[in-house]
Amino acid sequence: MHGKEVLARHAFADVLGANIVAAQQLNTDLFGTFSGEIPRTASPRSTALAKARRGMELEQTHYGLASEGTFSTGFGTIVENIEVLVFVDDILGLELVEGSIIISPLLAGRTVRHLNDALHYATAIGFPEQRVILQTGHNGVATSFKNIDDRETLLSIGEKVFREANDSVSIMPDYRAHHCPSRAAVIRTLCEQMAHRLATECPLCLTPGFGQVDVEYGVPCESCGTATNIIAADIHGCGKCTYRTRVARSVKRASPQWCNFCNP
Ligand SMILES: [Zn+2]
Ligand SMILES: [Zn+2]
């Protein structure tokens, strides 16, 4: 629904010679929406898996690829973006996962009191390439205005929304991949990682899809030697057998600021 097949197409063609087709009858909004009309109850990983499985059923394929993302505001205005991409291979029995956690370059959504504030916000996050969603609340029920694709539409919908708003008006980025260039870039990178992962065989059983499955924490504090929560190594694994390798990261000593003993 959001053109994500385009984000995977090049990497899968170049690295694997594989063709990506979007499942036509798949309504991915049923798995949850960013603007909250349909809450997403499962984790990003299980949601992505469910999407891939549903697409495979509809298209009668043995292979499925799907992504899922979340945006959450932790401290202040920082927005954390988690993206997960899963690949399912029903012939080999594989469920492979690529993921990333980044600080989104987009400003968090906010309540606005005037149309001008909404326009400033939209400009600040790169509208119209980055789309926005206006939301009004009335007796606790939110109504979303999406598909605002140019300034004129933003002005006319904004005027109407501010005129009729009983509670408050908020504006937020449209996080759907086809309306969010920064998120599309993250998903494209995960698709590249997945294509390369699928081109990598397990050294032991030769199943494709060998790649990072875990990390190992515990870089020692440079002051006292206590293990910190800084990542010391990546753990690569096979989707089929139990073979794993440890790939140490370059950092060997952690600053005491990350040490629970020196900086509790
Ligand atoms: Zn220490
Ligand atoms: Zn293996």
**What pLDDT, on the 0 to 100 scale, is given for residue 75?**
66
Digit-coded pLDDT (tens) for 168-225? 899 999 999 999 999 999 999 999 999 999 999 999 999 999 999 999 999 999 999 9
Compute the distance from residue 207 Cα to the ligand 2 centre, in Å.
6
Percent of the chain with pLDDT over 90: 79
Tokens representing 75? 């401290």
Who's near 44: CB < 8 A, 6+ residues apart?
Answer: 68, 69, 70, 82, 83, 84, 99
Residues with CB under 5 A from ligand 2 (ion): 202, 204-205, 207, 238, 240-241, 243
**What pLDDT, on the 0 to 100 scale, is given for residue 69?**
93
Compute the distance from residue 218 Cα to the ligand 1 centre, in Å.
12
pLDDT score of 242 more than 90:
yes
**What pLDDT, on the 0 to 100 scale, is given for residue 139?**
73
* Residue 51 burial (10 A CB sphere; 0-12, 13-18, 19+): buried
- Of 97, 100, 105, the C-alpha closest to 175 is 105
Compute the distance from residue 252 Cα to the ligand 1 centre, in Å.
14
- Of 46, 51, 86, the C-alpha closest to 209 is 86
Domains and CATH numbers, the chain: 1-106+180-199 (no CATH), 110-173 (3.30.1490), 200-264 (no CATH)
> What pTM does this model have?
0.89
pLDDT score of 35 more than 90:
no
* Residue 107 burial (10 A CB sphere; 0-12, 13-18, 19+): middle
Digit-coded pLDDT (tens) for 133-168? 999 877 777 788 998 999 999 999 999 988 887 678
Residue 63 bridge partners (DSSP):
89
Mean pLDDT of 13-27: 93
